[in-house]
Chain A
């Protein structure tokens, strides 16, 4: 026991002795193992490849090189804590944990340590209220937006009325899956549809009883909040009971290629939301291939370029690098601190022209962040899987959520958080 401690001590001592260079440090709390690896791997590949591409092509951002620190969490909160503690001392600028559970862990810790947290489209929804959550950002969209976008899409499909319809929600029985319930309940009262909640326990391989219930109750629509292996199983089960796939809609974490391919032709017609557009021919992918993959620096095996979650990881990296550039502009220094990074994120403004300039025209909606609003516009598109062509096709343009429903919920939840933790709401 003591020997082991000594050995571990010696190891950390050598690490601590490494010289600290002026670099922009970006931790990547990824997961390439465990039941959620199928989603974690392409996201992390895209996140890292984009930063590496900036290093190789532009020499970093504003002349400052980027250093990506990868740490494997396995979607596990205890490992997530270890990863956070081991990387924060290196001058980490922003955390992107890609896990709602780890986000809940890190919100108080990162706030106390003064490091911004970017949880795009996941995490704690009420963090959109920037006056309470000064250090947490969840632009461009959040779960309650997603729930509202789904309902708005269904309203449009049904001639603006969901009166008497039955909608089932299949959700991951965790903080992640429970997030949209309150919004959907409010929407169900408002639009008169009946909501059935079906929880699926971690990791989600066992869903027979939930789908049996769906088969018996025959809801008009099934909405899903799934992640990892749960998505594949759900799509397969839906195909098995012959549920009409075009009435089955996943959120944006349940709509990647690997979620639908295992079910083969049975998955044809499955729909999901997306917060970013997918287009494998974006010029930025050519840059990534030339500067990163051909140089042999690809994160992972390099096969994910252009896929749904790869694109989203790259989009996340782009949002981070734009915020870094913004912070450099505001403070006039290249080697920014996490506090400056926060200012950059809060002043972030993304225009269509800028996205085109970056070689990813139309990848996301235009939005700007402010002290009050850390949540972005909340727009989402609906996409549908074409099993024959093996690709996702966008069905709609960006659909807006109903802010009249989500905003009061955000205010209520963030006010509760502020009261619980004695936070004085206000801008920094």
Chain B
């Protein structure tokens, strides 16, 4: 009933090719954007920004990045934490070396630097595949964390090895540093997420996305039909790392404000983003958002229910979080191996037939 196509006629190629061909979907999309841009910024407070929305949006960018590499191009990567660290440290070095340049430029440049590093670590993917590639990217993870810990130039020779984001402004409004308003933090992340998601969605719908998917489905067949594996794989690594670098830069500059590489960008971060992609759904932009929301919101919600509502001891709740999230991950993977995105797709199919399913 809701997702009805009847009466929704397309009269031009442009209309036929649009991202959301169903009218209801389009309305839903504009509605979500309107709420995100016009309602939430006026209601948000420090707690909602720092505990839920900002981490959710940043992890969504990282998940989109990894989804391009793993979900669309089929190259498994365990180096996400390391690439986020590249973004964060690039952003820090740029922020401190060129304080007069706008932070938005720095964040985009950090993405570019991460893309170059990612493409370099993607070179082995031309020779090795699957688990072996995962191990090669794992090496990238450990090497990068070691590098940022070892070479004092990256943290400007500070005594503690911590990097701290100085205050920076966009249009006169502080977006980094301690005096940032909740809405400013939220808005800068939201703008980056929106642009990244639109770019990712359109890249994956076009020629480039199709070559990636061809490589994912069967690389030899893809080569035979004329896909250049060197170009496709390296491009996937570069584009994916670009997004992950942006996520890392925002994670450091906007969300935390001070990071320590081993703690913030360790191997756990790589696994966390990989879980987001797997739970959300491989090869789906919506899945990246769903996975990020699931793994960011759920622990906070469990904590609120357990500690603040039921008054349980904090250590018990913290242990229960691990148990419940672990159990839910297993439940989802058994019941729906294609992730939350597939559940959404099925729900959409059902809604189209409702109330007369067959």
Contacts and interface: CB of A to CB of B under 8 A. Distances in A.
Contacts of B149: 173, 199
A49 interface: no
B342 interface: no
Given A100-B160, A175-B161, 19 more contacts: A1-B290, A4-B298, A5-B297, A8-B300, A14-B309, A70-B307, A71-B314, A78-B55, A78-B256, A82-B303, A85-B50, A86-B47, A101-B162, A101-B263, A104-B162, A104-B260, A105-B258, A112-B178, A421-B166
B163 to A, nearest CB: 10
A74 interface: yes
A343 interface: no
A86 B167 CA distance: 23
B50 A81 contact: yes
Nearest to B293: A1
Nearest to A81: B50
A284 B164 CA distance: 41
A33 B301 contact: no
B305 interface: yes
Interface string B277-303: 000000000000110011001101101
A12 B48 CA distance: 10
A30 B255 CA distance: 22
A153 B255 CA distance: 43
B159 interface: yes
Given A81-B51, A202-B262, A109 B257 contact: yes
Interface residues of A, number: 53
A179 B318 CA distance: 30
Contact of B256 (A72, A77, A125): A77
18 contacts: A1-B290, A1-B340, A5-B297, A15-B304, A30-B314, A33-B315, A71-B314, A72-B303, A72-B318, A76-B263, A77-B259, A85-B46, A85-B50, A111-B178, A174-B262, A174-B263, A175-B161, A175-B162
Contacts of B313: 32
B300 A82 contact: yes
B317 interface: yes
A76 B202 CA distance: 37
A11 B51 CA distance: 14
A201 B308 CA distance: 34
B222 interface: no
A174 B158 CA distance: 12
Interface residues of B, number: 48
Contact of A202 (B159, B258, B263, B309): B263
Q: Label chain A's interface by main secondary structure.
A: helix
B319 interface: yes
Contacts of A7: 301
A104 B178 contact: no
B52 A8 contact: yes
Contacts of B301: 4, 7-8, 11
Nearest to A89: B47
A100 B258 CA distance: 12
A175 B50 contact: no
Contact of A101 (B51, B260, B315): B260
B74 interface: no
A208 interface: no
Nearest to B317: A72
Interface string A98-117: 00110011001101100000
B263 A15 contact: no
A108 B318 contact: no
B82 interface: no
4 smallest CB-CB distances across A and B, nearest first, come from: A32-B315, A108-B178, A112-B178, A175-B160
A178 interface: yes
A124 B160 contact: yes
Contacts of A413: 159
A388 interface: no
A74 B256 CA distance: 16
A35 B348 CA distance: 44
Nearest to A100: B160
A420 interface: yes
